[in-house]
Amino acid sequence: MPAAESRSTLIGDRSGWADADGLGLEQGRLMQAVLRMAVMAAGSSIGLGLLVLWLVHPVMGGAQRWMLLWPVGLAAAGLLELLDVLRSLGWPLVRLAQPAVRWRLIGHSVLTGLMFAGISVFIYPQVDAERRYLLGMIACAAIPIGAMAGAPLRWGGMGWTLVTSAGVLLGVLQLDGLVRDVSVPLTLLMALLVMVSLNAIGRSVRHRLQAEAAARRERHALDLLLRDFEQHADDWLWETDARGRLRRISSRMAQALGVNDANLLIDRALIELLRDAEGSEQLARNLSEPEPFRALALRLPSRQLLQTAWQHWTVSGVPLLDAEARIVSWRGVVRDVTLLREQSRELQRLAHTDVLTGLANRHVLQRRCAEAVARCHVAVAGRPAEASAPSPSPMLTLCLLDLDNFKEINDTLGHAVGDRLLREVARRLSACVAGFGDPAAHVLARLGGDEFALLIDRPHPEAEREAMAQALLQALRPVWQDEQAAVDVRASLGVASWDVLHPDADRLFQDADLALYAAKAAGRDVARTFDAPMRAELMRRHGLVRDLGLLLRAPTGEQAEAGRLMLHYQPQFDLAEGRLSGAEALLRWRHPVRGWISPAEFVPLAEEHGLIALLGEWVLHRACQEAAGWPEPMRLAVNLSALQLRGDALVDSVRSALAGAGLSAERLELEVTETVLMQDARRAREQLHALRLLGVSIALDDFGTGYSSLAQLAELPVDLLKIDRSFVAALGEAGPRAQQAEAIVRLIVQLGQATGMATLAEGVETPAQREALLLCGCERLQGYLLGRPLEPGPLRERMRLSSSVAPLSLPT
């Protein structure tokens, strides 16, 4: 490249302040590197083509003669690429940066790859073993070499690798025996490794070019500072003479100084124009020294109609020196960083503030809590005698607050109302915390959702701690009147104070969370302070979850033999026939250490820890296996969880359980609750219809307590309505409550009769309830009056007796 052209390329037209080292030149330098490597690649293609032609020419005769066109084509494609590359090497960097150059090189790679692939596909299978071995060696060398040549241009190397590897693969697939079986995976592995290497090499080349560009910027600081910044609103160029008077200034910089015409500032002293700026004294000192300076901060009054009253600039300059090291002129750049500073402050605010409420966010609270815990440890480090027992006056307390029933508010009134409620809660809590004293010692934060937290970072008596907790709850209790509804705001509060047993902030958060859990369990709208039994309860719950998981993952036989996880069955009676008609499977757990664990405890634990699907699967398969030994036509009722009904494997699981046990589908009845159906009505309908196609029956459990409509009920393939025990419990009593319950039961029975659904009443415990249900027309019953839950053995015996004798009157 001529020197004049090189200088024009690097520096550009001084009158236009051209980009001396922009992205285009970097792309051009990258293409230069690719072209240099492409020369070798093209030469290799020519050599490979001629080598293959010489190698196979003697054995390609007759009808195979046309195959010699592939090595000739490879050499010709290499020659075409070589001529194109040599021609392009003399182009300036700006022209090399054009996309057409890049795509032309990629095209050359693909074309030569196709020629080489043709050799692999057509010639390789036709030659003798010796030449085939040599062609294989050539391919093993050519694929990575060609790929590496195009590595800086990733898609060039990728194109070569994919095309040639595909050709080699098609060639070896035409072979037989061990050669094909070994060559196919080796070819795929080589192609994969080459493409991975291409990515790594491409990144390495780009990093090297970027490093070279950075070095050039350091060596040519003067040229780099004279780039054209006219396309960037925040970067302005300036140039002064030896006396500091402006010889050249960006029009944007002139406008920022309140002058529309930059020519009016020529010959004005730069220091005079910036005399009102904070930092101008340092700028004057820098301009008097023959040393470059960078990013000198200036703060000056705004001379434009901006949102801020102040502008923030950074100034950099490089002196031009004569032979005696005297300043001839200065050239530099000014950057307006006002917007950047505002954005930085806003990002800082967003990083530390909850957007919805304006409170501190989780990150701030966790950081402050970690700092406070570390400070507490330091404070007690010099007091070993006191370190063995908690301090009577807490040094640090964390309160976690969770709104009660916030999800219901969101679901019923909408998320917009929910957001307004959260802002109101934040306002009330902020006003309450303001009365606690030093604002710096109290961090109120929103952790996410409806969860808030307060960190009390100062020594305080326990009585004050309890008073503050109650004050927080009391601040929320007044009814909040929204545009759409009046909301009764309540919250649960968990409190934990630091002591030497807390190694870090995470432990303090865990304890506060345990206390919050205890507050919710205590009935909500209460505060609970952490104590040791809470952690013991947590460990017990974790132990139950661990043991339950081990049981569910153990072979089914081991669970039954150990007497740990088992099924009992609640008998169900047919009123018309007066005999036992089936039973509902009830899960029981007899822990080897803790004894009987209530389903009301371990089933919610299974839901919380992702074990409910395994648990439901186990119950379904186990119940079907045991019901297969019952006398026909005794029915089995099994409850389905919400997760099972939403899952994709339910139908296959039921089919597998029936087939594995040899139980006919007509004898299986699957129970779902109204609540589960309403969570995803469309998905529930799909699943229930698919189950009905298997032949199983569907029962709607706890009917009358949910929110299903008659229209929705008509769309569901339901065979049985189970009347909830809350209605049954009121039957047989005197008073309005019994009359209302009887009316509801009659309506449910009539609804079932009108829609072809049977009815079953659960929780029958007294003869009066049984007689009332009989008068209402209920068809099936279950409850302690008729039979308590039985283990599989006694149940089978009772079913055998019920099936072998005439119908009897139901138990009283």
Q: What digits encode the pLDDT tens for the residues 303-313?
A: 655 556 788 88
The answer on pLDDT for 109 being more than 70 is yes
**206 with 242, same domain?**
no
Q: What mean pLDDT do residues 780-804 have?
A: 88
The answer on pLDDT for 47 being more than 70 is yes
Across the chain, mean pLDDT equals: 80
Which residue has better confidence, 439 or 180? Answer: 439
The answer on pLDDT for 403 being more than 70 is yes
The answer on pLDDT for 385 being more than 60 is no
The pLDDT value recorded for residue 711 is 60
Indicate the DSSP class of residue 120: I
**331 with 365, same domain?**
no
**506 with 585, same domain?**
no
The pLDDT value recorded for residue 376 is 85
Angle at the Cα of 486 from the Cα atoms of 479 and 413, rounded to 5 degrees: 130
Q: What mean pLDDT do residues 562-568 have?
A: 78
**383 with 444, same domain?**
yes
The pLDDT value recorded for residue 560 is 46
Q: 178-192, 399-413, 445-459, 606-620: which range is least confident on average?
A: 178-192
The answer on pLDDT for 273 being more than 80 is yes
Distance of alpha carbon 557 from alpha carbon 548, whole angstroms: 15
Which residue has better confidence, 164 or 280? Answer: 280
Q: Residue 348: is it exposed, middle or buried by C-beta count within 10 angstroms (0-12/13-18/19+)?
A: exposed
**Does 520 reside within a domain?**
yes
Distance of alpha carbon 390 from alpha carbon 500, whole angstroms: 7
The pLDDT value recorded for residue 148 is 64
Q: Write b or e for each residue in 591-628: b if 16 or more Cβ atoms lie within 10 A of its Cβ, otherwise e.
A: beeeeebeeeebbebbeeeebbbebbbbbbbbbbbbbe
The pLDDT value recorded for residue 628 is 94
The pLDDT value recorded for residue 154 is 63
Which residue has better confidence, 223 or 719? Answer: 719
**Does 751 reside within a domain?**
yes
The pLDDT value recorded for residue 782 is 94
Q: What mean pLDDT do residues 429-450 have?
A: 91
Contacts of 491 (CB under 8 A, 6+ apart): 401, 402, 403, 404, 425, 472, 473, 476, 524, 525
**198 with 79, same domain?**
yes
Find, among 323, 466, 462, 442, the residue nearest to 393 by Cα: 462
| For the chain, percent of residues with pLDDT exceeding 70 | 83
On whether the CB atoms of residues 773 and 542 are closer than 8 A, the answer is no
For the stretch 539-557, pLDDT in tens is 888 888 888 888 887 765 5
What domain range includes position 636?
A: 546-792
**298 with 386, same domain?**
no
**Does 539 reside within a domain?**
no
| For the chain, percent of residues with pLDDT exceeding 90 | 22
The answer on pLDDT for 506 being more than 80 is yes
**291 with 358, same domain?**
no
Q: What mean pLDDT do residues 716-730 have?
A: 88
Distance of alpha carbon 770 from alpha carbon 792, whole angstroms: 26
**Does 27 reside within a domain?**
yes
The answer on pLDDT for 390 being more than 60 is no
**162 with 294, same domain?**
no
The answer on pLDDT for 397 being more than 60 is yes
**Does 805 reside within a domain?**
no
Find, among 350, 352, 357, the residue nearest to 450 by Cα: 357
**Does 640 reside within a domain?**
yes
Which residue has better confidence, 646 or 21? Answer: 646
The domain that contains 507 carries what CATH number? 3.30.70.270
The strand pairing partners of 759, in sequence order, are: 721
Q: 169-183, 222-236, 295-309, 745-759: which range is least confident on average?
A: 222-236
On whether the CB atoms of residues 179 and 168 are closer than 8 A, the answer is no
The answer on pLDDT for 708 being more than 90 is no
**367 with 289, same domain?**
no
- In which band, very low, low, confident or very high, does the pLDDT at 667 lie, cut at 50, 70 and 90? very high
The pLDDT value recorded for residue 25 is 66
Domain C-terminal end among 197, 221, 245: 221
**Does 679 reside within a domain?**
yes
The strand pairing partners of 294, in sequence order, are: none
Most confident stretch, 73-82, 625-634, 639-648: 625-634
For the residues of 16-37, what is the DSSP string, one character each? GT--SS-HHHHHHHHHHHHHHH
Structure tokens at 603: 């089933």
- In which band, very low, low, confident or very high, does the pLDDT at 14 lie, cut at 50, 70 and 90? very low
On whether the CB atoms of residues 81 and 114 are closer than 8 A, the answer is no
Find, among 723, 785, 789, 793, the residue nearest to 587 by Cα: 789
Most confident stretch, 52-56, 237-241, 309-313: 237-241
Contacts of 810 (CB under 8 A, 6+ apart): 573, 575, 578, 770, 781, 786
Q: 23-37, 634-648, 667-681: which range is least confident on average?
A: 23-37
The pLDDT value recorded for residue 645 is 85
Domain count, the chain: 4
The answer on pLDDT for 153 being more than 80 is no
The answer on pLDDT for 186 being more than 90 is no
Q: Residue 372 CB: number of other CB atoms within 10 A?
A: 23
The domain that contains 329 carries what CATH number? 3.30.450.20
On whether the CB atoms of residues 480 and 423 are closer than 8 A, the answer is no
